[in-house]
Amino acid sequence: MKKISKAKIDELFKAISAKETLYIPVDDSEGQAAFIPYAEGLKMSEDLNTVRSAKDLFFPQVESLVNFKMDGKHIEIIDAATEKKPFVIFGVRACDARSFDILDRVFYYAEPKDSFYIERRDKSTVVTLACNAPEETCFCGAFGIDPAEPAGDVSAWQDGESFFFKANTEKGEALLAGLPLEDAADDAADKVKEDIRKITAMLPLKDLDLSKFGPGKTQELFNDPAWATLSESCLGCGTCTFVCPTCQCFDIRDFDGGKEIRRYRCWDSCMYSDFTQMSAGQPRPTQKERFRQRFMHKLVYYPDMHEGLFSCVGCGRCLRKCPIHMNIVKVIKTIGEEK
């Protein structure tokens, strides 16, 4: 275990950024946090969760794939991939750290493998930070996530005076070895962990019951009449999918600039009426079907394909951002309580 005083955290950030690009959560003018490259004078946000998750650093909202240059009938194919440099993300919470495991199964390990995603994952070092004061909208515990014991290459904790660090991987050990840190007792963060777990035990959603969901429940839940009622108020705005750390849908489009065409991918949402639309139409033409798809994928389809792992981490972003307060917790409670 290593430590540094809170008063010296900027010295730590400078030491990391001198070697690699460092991303930290920083509040914008409206008080909303986002991961941005560290620069001297920036202060790390105290907010538990960034507006969008650290997923953006591995799976950007917009990304060029390939370009085509046109000259008459001659077409030149230009590789749009750029070499990615090593980087460090500091302040990732336990829920978002779990989301990387979920995304890895789609982009890193499944065929065809996503070389863009893989390169970013391989060149990243993730420093997680325990949640000292989990919010009432948090329910990561329902998915077996302990906010007091975040995963990552390095786990970090903070009390009133210090930050404590523990390396979990070789990348984590290499990062800590070159930083201005002091040695600390192995149990230095135990009091912080204990206090976090006391708060977690009092959260209103701590007893969220997932027993009615999971692998093998497609037949039982697909035609449940509750989907029609739950989806009635949904606007189909896609906000929930864009703030979600585990959503992975994307579209591939071409931008024609005349003599050059840029092919890129961008995030998409299963809640949109034109999602996966083709010449034959939209396979899920009603909002009920699109609404059901989103939550069945997170709670049934993904667990079916990945050894029971749910595609939700209980970060609570969709609870805070949905304009009509229709979220995964209401779905779980409504459908779960009727069974």
Q: What is the per-residue pLDDT for 20?
A: 95
Question: Does 279 score more than 80 pLDDT?
Answer: no
* Residues 183-227: tens digit of each pLDDT: 999 999 999 999 999 999 999 999 999 999 999 999 999 999 999
Q: Which residue has the tokens 């033409």?
A: 285
State the pLDDT at residue 84: 87
Question: What pLDDT sits at residue 71?
Answer: 82
How would residue 70 be classed by pLDDT, with cut points 50, 70 and 90? confident
Band (pLDDT 50/70/90 cuts) for residue 281 is confident
Query: Measured at the alpha carbon of residue 136, what is the angle toward residues 125 and 54, in degrees to the nearest 5?
Result: 20
Exposure string over 209-224, b if 16+ CB within 10 A, otherwise e: ebebbeeebeeebeeb
Q: What percent of the chain has pLDDT over 70?
A: 99
What is the structure's pLDDT at 82? 81
Q: What is the mean pLDDT of residues 299-310?
A: 97
Residues 25-67: tens digit of each pLDDT: 999 888 889 999 999 999 999 888 899 999 999 999 999 999 9
Choice among 101-105, 159-163, 263-267, 274-278 with the minimum mean pLDDT: 274-278
pLDDT 10s digits, 83-132: 889 999 999 999 999 999 999 999 999 999 999 999 999 999 999 999 99
**89 φ/ψ angles, rounded to the nearest 5 degrees:** -110, 120
CB atoms within 10 A of CB 54: 24
| Size (the chain), residues | 339
Q: Could you tell me the residue ranges of all domains in the chain? A: 1-59+67-206, 208-339
Tell me which residue has tokens 């961008």.
266
Tokens of 74: 């001659």
Angle between helices 115-122 and 94-107 (to 10 degrees): 140
- Per-residue confidence (pLDDT) for residue 332, from 0 to 100: 96
pLDDT of res. 253: 94
**For residue 339, pLDDT beyond 70:** no
> Is the pLDDT reported for residue 296 higher than 60?
yes
Residue 338 pLDDT grade (very low, low, confident, very high; cuts 50, 70, 90): low
